[in-house]
Structure 1
Amino acid sequence: MAKTMRPYSRYGREATVLLGQLIRLARISRKLTHEELAERAGVSRGLVHRIEKGDPGCAIGAVFEVAAIVGVRLFDADQSTLATGIAANTAMLTLLPRAIRTSDKPVKDDF
């Protein structure tokens, strides 16, 4: 079965390329090989290579783990700031409905 390519926005493509370049620069500055980084992250060497090339099809968890290992800061936040943001968003999401449903009934808005 042929794999179809998902279209990505220009912003999405450029953001993944930029993140990949930042990861590669950090890996090289730390003098890590693809193999060493892959072993530390628990992923394949090929996946590390794809992440560095900016492949948007890579699993986000793997990308974030590789970035964390080489010291690329995501969201420009430290651990406590991330935890505070997660707690605030969790509280906000608790107040919102779990699902959004469209109404099948026509709206009577002719006053």
Structure 2
Amino acid sequence: MRTRKVILLPKMEKTLVQVGENIKLARLRRKLSTEQIAERANISRPTLWNIEKGAGGVAIAAYAQVLFVLGLEKDLLKLAGDDPLGRKLQDAELIVKERAPKTSKKNG
């Protein structure tokens, strides 16, 4: 079975790169090597390198494992935690109006 390559929009690519940099900085602050993190997260070093580069092809579970090893797993709860647009739509209780029936034109 062939897998499809996910094509990311440039804005999303920049976001993943920033996430990768944040993870790398967290690792460096803790003075942990890539080997230590990869072993503890049960992933390969190349996968960790891809995470730190912000590669889009890495499973979110691998990101979660690395965050757990770094003690940052609660950061995952912040994802989509605040949904201002969704709350506004919910508060407005937008109702989709039904389309008016077509009127028949009489020839005459």
Aligned length: 83
Paired position in structure 2 for 1:22:
22
Change (3 A) 1:108 1:22: closer
Structure 1 residue 6 and structure 2 residue 25: aligned? no
Q: In 1, distance between residues paired with 2:19 and 2:36?
A: 19
The TM-score with structure 2 as length reference comes to 0.63
- In the alignment, structure 2 segments of 5+ residues that lack a partner are 82-97, 103-108
CA RMSD of aligned residues (A): 2.9
The TM-score with structure 1 as length reference comes to 0.62
Structure 1 residue 74 and structure 2 residue 65: aligned? no
Change (3 A) 1:27 1:71: same
Q: Is the 8 A contact 2:13 2:56 kept in 1?
A: yes
- In the alignment, structure 1 segments of 5+ residues that lack a partner are 86-106
Paired position in structure 2 for 1:34:
34
Larger Rg computed on CA atoms: 2
Q: In 2, distance between residues paired with 1:17 and 1:76?
A: 20
| Matched-pair identity in % | 34
Q: In 1, distance between residues paired with 2:22 and 2:58?
A: 16
